[in-house]
Chain A
Amino acid sequence: EAQVTQNPRYLITVTGKKLTVTCSQNMNHEYMSWYRQDPGLGLRQIYYSMNVEVTDKGDVPEGYKVSRKEKRNFPLILESPSPNQTSLYFCASSLTGPSYEQYFGPGTRLTVT
C-alpha cells in the first residue's frame, strides 16, 4: 500500500531535549516536505527536499533541521525544542514537486513543556 508513515504519532517532551520525528515513504517519490499546522494559521511549510542530499527552507524553518540521506526517509530534527514548537506536524511526499499531488502522513502531535 502506498503510504507515508510518521513516528511517533504523539510526543510530549520538555524544553531543550533534542528529538527526531521520522518520516518514510514507499512510493519512490523525489519530493518530500514537512509542515506544521496551528490553529488559525493553516499549514506552513518548514523544509522540503527535491531529492537525496538536496534540502531547502520553507516558510518557517527556524528551530528545525532535516536531512535526506536516502530517498525514502526525511526526518525532522528539533535540536532544542521550545514551547512555541508545540504543534501538529505533517510529512508529505510527491512524485517530483509541489505542483504534483502530495501524499501526507497521519501527523505527529508534539507538545513541548
Chain B
Amino acid sequence: DQQVKQNSPSLSVQEGRISILNCDYTNSMFDYFLWYKKYPAEGPTFLISISSIKDKNEDGRFTVFLNKSAKHLSLHIVPSQPGDSAVYFCAASDVNRDDKIIFGKGTRLHILP
C-alpha cells in the first residue's frame, strides 16, 4: 500500500513558467514532509521541507504548500529554469512514532527551452 503517492511520473514545463509537482499521502499521522531533487548519476539532494503545523514554506523560487485536510502537498517552482530538470521525490515521516521515512515514486520534470 503506497502511503506517499506522486501520480504524475513526468511533467513538461516551459522555461520561465511555473512548475507544480503534486504529492498525496494516506497516513494522517505524517507530521513532516520533504522534497528531494535528483539528477542522473547523483544522489538525491534536499530541496525544501514543511512541518504539519504549517501550510506553506518558501525558499527562493521554491514553495511547498500543505493541505492537511486533503492529505495533499505541492511543490511550486517559479520561474522554472533549465537546471530544474530532474526527478523530484516527495517524502513523509511520522517522527512521533518512529524514524522511518517514506518516499514517493518520483516525478520527472522536463523544462523546455
**Contacting residues of chain B (83-103) with chain A, CB-CB under 8 angstroms:** 89, 91, 93, 95, 98-103
Residues of A within 8 A of B42 (CB): 106-107
Indicate whether A99 reaches chain B with its CB closer than 8 angstroms.
yes
Q: Are B43 and A99 in contact, CB atoms less than 8 angstroms apart?
A: no
Indicate whether B77 reaches chain A with its CB closer than 8 angstroms.
no
Q: Are B44 and A56 in contact, CB atoms less than 8 angstroms apart?
A: no
Indicate whether B34 reaches chain A with its CB closer than 8 angstroms.
yes
**Contacting residues of chain A (14-49) with chain B, CB-CB under 8 angstroms:** 31, 33, 35, 40-45, 48
Q: Tell me, in angstroms, the Cα distance from A98 to B93 when the chains sit together.
A: 7
Q: Are B95 and A99 in contact, CB atoms less than 8 angstroms apart?
A: yes
Residues of A within 8 A of B44 (CB): 43, 90, 92, 102, 104
The answer to whether A42 and B49 touch (CB under 8 A), given A98-B93, A104-B43, is: no
Total interface residues on A, CB under 8 Å, equals 27
Q: Tell me, in angstroms, the Cα distance from A102 to B103 when the chains sit together.
A: 13
Q: Tell me, in angstroms, the Cα distance from A61 to B21 when the chains sit together.
A: 29
Partner of B34, one of A33, A99, A106: A99
Q: Are B101 and A40 in contact, CB atoms less than 8 angstroms apart?
A: no
Q: Are B106 and A99 in contact, CB atoms less than 8 angstroms apart?
A: no
**Contacting residues of chain A (94-113) with chain B, CB-CB under 8 angstroms:** 97-99, 101-107
28 A-B residue pairs with Cβ-Cβ distance under 8 Å, sorted by A, are A41-B105, A42-B6, A42-B103, A42-B104, A43-B44, A43-B106, A45-B101, A48-B99, A48-B100, A48-B101, A50-B99, A56-B99, A56-B100, A59-B100, A59-B102, A97-B95, A97-B99, A98-B32, A98-B34, A98-B91, A98-B99, A101-B34, A102-B101, A104-B36, A104-B44, A104-B45, A106-B42, A107-B41
In the A-B complex, list the 8 residue pairs whose CB atoms are closest, starting with the nearest. Answer: A104-B43, A42-B105, A98-B101, A99-B32, A43-B103, A101-B46, A98-B93, A104-B44
Q: Which residues of A contact B (CB under 8 A)?
A: 4, 31, 33, 35, 40-45, 48, 50, 56, 58-59, 90, 92, 97-99, 101-107
